[in-house]
């Protein structure tokens, strides 16, 4: 009896293994939290597994062009996936925008940043942190905002630059920089800024931060990689993306909850 | 080719590494001397503390320094009290971080060199009524010369090559904390591979030349043998 059960369980396991596949995903650091949650939902919905690797988008490009094993790439911008497609490492027509980033001016100190960002012109701080505008789209958007407010020349000497926005957040949360620019996703919890104080920068102050995904040639034949690309557009994934402070691309707007 | 910003990072790196190396020799010499000669029970703990940066990932060490030297940290509050402000994002902060990070590379060769000298030369000097300080400068220093050279080379080279710590406490500010390793990394991240190659190539040639020069000096040095 026991033996039979074992065989049955073994067969069950074998059959599920034959259908479920695993895919290795390169994820831009700013998308760490939502993607972790999406991966769990993905596994539940499809039986496939997504193994996530987090890092800077530019580093992933260098790795991918030199034999990196990733099959799906969720970039922090649209430029990096485009380059991979041009260089023939990715499936060009698979590229799409999975999230639109929102910029926030944030401080670890409560009531320090007002909800209109007037603190920027008022001053009174020694350091303002941002991600390197040359490397990170959120850094570039921050510079564009400050240029629009004609404050860039005044604030530039106070800049401290993180190599990515995760590091930028460490500069601010340790209090070494009084305030700085981050992705809203880094400081949001349950739909609002979890601690400190922040100003969610209106979209019209800078070019849209489009974050694109692309299927790599290495994953073109993997059912798990293909399924993940599809799952990112599902209402379930979109709801998670929105919850973490991203705008949805126009073509995927969720129906308003009635 | 190298642009002006690249050359500025090279110059800054040279400045940080030189100042840090001098400080490490000043700090490391008495420390290594004590470590080489003490019978104290604290010796094990001190040895372990000095070697700790060898084990800790640089970005972890950098993060702890960021917290410690920040406005809420112990060191940060002290420096603020003293009117120095906080250290992260400053040239001085970078030097302090480099000293902590590269110190084992200076202390360990010195410690080995001091230990190799043994008791005999010191006893001989003492019978000739040399003061301890005089003994140190006229007996120990010449005998430990290869150790000093190795310590200088390794301390300097290791500081030039450091990256994770600098990235954390530096803040990538031109002419203040943007050193060459960070600049190379930025070029790679921005997919500017050509500039990255030029800078990395320059760094490679520079480091090789420095090491070669120092090692040739080391080789031609008449290595003094302790009196048997």
pLDDT tens digits, A146-169: 999 999 999 999 999 998 888 899
Q: What percent of chain B has pLDDT over 70?
A: 96
Which residues, 6+ apart, have CB-to-CB distance to A41 below 8 Å? A231, A236, A237, A240
CA distance A163 to A144: 18
A30 pLDDT band (50/70/90 cuts)?
confident
Closest CA to B121 of B138, B146, B104, B133: B138
Contact pairs from chain A to chain B, CB under 8 Å: 63
Test the B interface: residue of A107, A109, A112, A161 with most B CBs within 10 Å:
A161
Interface check B66 vs A, CB under 8 A: yes
- Give mean pLDDT, residues A236-251: 91
**Who wins on pLDDT, A256 or A251?**
A251
Please report residues of A whose CB lies closer than 8 A to that of B75: none
CB contact under 8 A, B188 and A175: no
CA distance A244 to A192: 9
CB contact under 8 A, A135 and B186: yes
pLDDT tens digits, B35-83: 999 999 999 999 999 999 999 988 889 989 999 999 889 999 999 999 8
Q: With contact defined as beta carbons under 8 Å apart, do A177 and A159 qualify? A: no
For chain A, how far is it from start to end, CA to CA, in angstroms?
Answer: 54
Of A127, A134, A177, the CB nearest to B186: A134
Interface ipTM: 0.73
What's the DSSP call for residue B138? I
Q: How far A130 CA lies from chain B's nearest CA (Å)?
A: 9
* pTM (predicted TM-score): 0.79
Q: What is the pLDDT of residue A145?
A: 96
Q: What is the pLDDT of residue B228?
A: 42
- Give mean pLDDT, residues B159-169: 89
- Give mean pLDDT, residues B191-219: 84
- Give mean pLDDT, residues B180-194: 85
Minimum CA–CA partner of B64 in chain A: A174
Which of A56-70, A83-97, B197-211 has the highest mean predicted lDDT (pLDDT)? A83-97
pLDDT tens digits, A32-51: 889 999 999 999 999 999 99
**Lowest-pLDDT range, A206-215, B182-191, B197-206?**
B182-191
Q: With contact defined as beta carbons under 8 Å apart, do B98 and B124 qualify? A: no
What is chain A's mean pLDDT, rounded? Answer: 89
pLDDT tens digits, A178-233: 999 999 988 998 888 989 999 999 999 999 999 999 999 999 999 999 999 999 99
Helices (H), chain A: 2-19, 32-46, 57-64, 79-86, 119-122, 137-148, 152-155, 165-173, 184-187, 223-231, 235-243
The answer to whether residue A103 scores a pLDDT higher than 70 is yes
CB contact under 8 A, A160 and B72: no
The answer to whether residue B106 scores a pLDDT higher than 90 is yes
The answer to whether residue A20 scores a pLDDT higher than 90 is no
Q: What is the pLDDT of residue A12?
A: 52
The answer to whether residue A123 scores a pLDDT higher than 50 is yes
Q: What is the pLDDT of residue A256?
A: 57
CB contact under 8 A, A170 and B88: no
B3 pLDDT band (50/70/90 cuts)?
confident
The answer to whether residue A91 scores a pLDDT higher than 90 is yes
What is chain B's mean pLDDT, rounded? Answer: 88
């Amino acid at each position: 009896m026991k033996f039979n059960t074992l065989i049955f369980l073994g067969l069950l396991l074998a059959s599920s293994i034959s259908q479920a596949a695993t895919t290795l995903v390169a994820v831009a650091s700013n998308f760490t939290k939502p993607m972790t949650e999406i991966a769990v939902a993905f596994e539940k919905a499809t039986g496939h597994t997504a193994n996530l690797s987090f890092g800077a988008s530019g580093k992933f490009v260098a790795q991918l062009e030199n034999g990196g094993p990733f099959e799906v790439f969720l970039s922090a911008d649209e430029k990096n996936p485009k380059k991979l497609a041009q260089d023939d490492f990715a499936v060009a027509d698979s590229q799409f925008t999975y999230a639109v980033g929102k910029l926030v001016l944030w401080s670890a100190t409560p009531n320090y940043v007002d909800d209109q960002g007037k603190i920027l012109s008022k001053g009174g701080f020694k350091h303002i942190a941002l991600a390197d505008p040359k490397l990170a789209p959120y850094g570039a958007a921050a510079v564009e905002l400050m240029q629009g407010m004609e404050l860039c020349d005044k604030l530039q000497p106070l800049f401290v630059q993180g190599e990515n926005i995760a590091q930028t957040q460490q500069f601010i949360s340790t209090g070494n920089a009084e305030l700085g620019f981050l992705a809203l996703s880094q400081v949001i919890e349950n739909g609002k800024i979890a601690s400190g104080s922040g100003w969610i920068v209106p979209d019209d102050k800078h070019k849209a931060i489009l974050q694109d995904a692309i299927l790599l040639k290495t994953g073109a034949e993997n059912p798990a990689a293909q399924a993940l690309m599809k799952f990112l557009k599902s209402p379930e994934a979109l709801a998670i993306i929105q919850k973490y402070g991203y705008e949805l691309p126009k073509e995927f707007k969720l129906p308003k909850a009635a | 080719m190298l642009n002006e910003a690249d050359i500025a990072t090279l110059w800054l790196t040279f400045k940080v590494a030189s100042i840090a190396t001098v400080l490490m020799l000043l700090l490391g010499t008495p420390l290594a001397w004590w470590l080489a000669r003490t019978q104290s029970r604290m010796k094990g703990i001190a040895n372990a503390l000095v070697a700790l940066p060898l084990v800790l990932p640089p970005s972890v060490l950098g993060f702890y320094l960021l917290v410690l030297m920040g406005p809420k940290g112990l060191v940060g509050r002290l420096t603020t009290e003293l009117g120095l402000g906080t250290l992260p994002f400053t040239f001085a902060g970078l030097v302090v971080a480099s000293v902590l990070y590269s110190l084992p590379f200076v202390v360990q060769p010195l410690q080995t060199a001091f230990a190799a000298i043994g008791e005999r030369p010191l006893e001989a000097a003492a019978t000739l009524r040399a003061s301890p300080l005089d003994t140190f400068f006229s007996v120990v220093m010449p005998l430990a010369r290869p150790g000093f050279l190795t310590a200088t080379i390794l301390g300097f080279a290791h500081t030039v090559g450091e990256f994770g710590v600098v990235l954390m406490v530096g803040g990538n500010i031109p002419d203040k904390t943007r050193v060459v390793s960070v600049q190379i990394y930025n070029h790679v991240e921005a997919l500017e591979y050509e500039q990255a190659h030029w800078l990395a190539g320059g760094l490679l040639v520079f480091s090789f030349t420095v090491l070669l020069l120092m090692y040739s000096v080391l080789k031609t040095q008449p290595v003094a043998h302790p009196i048997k």
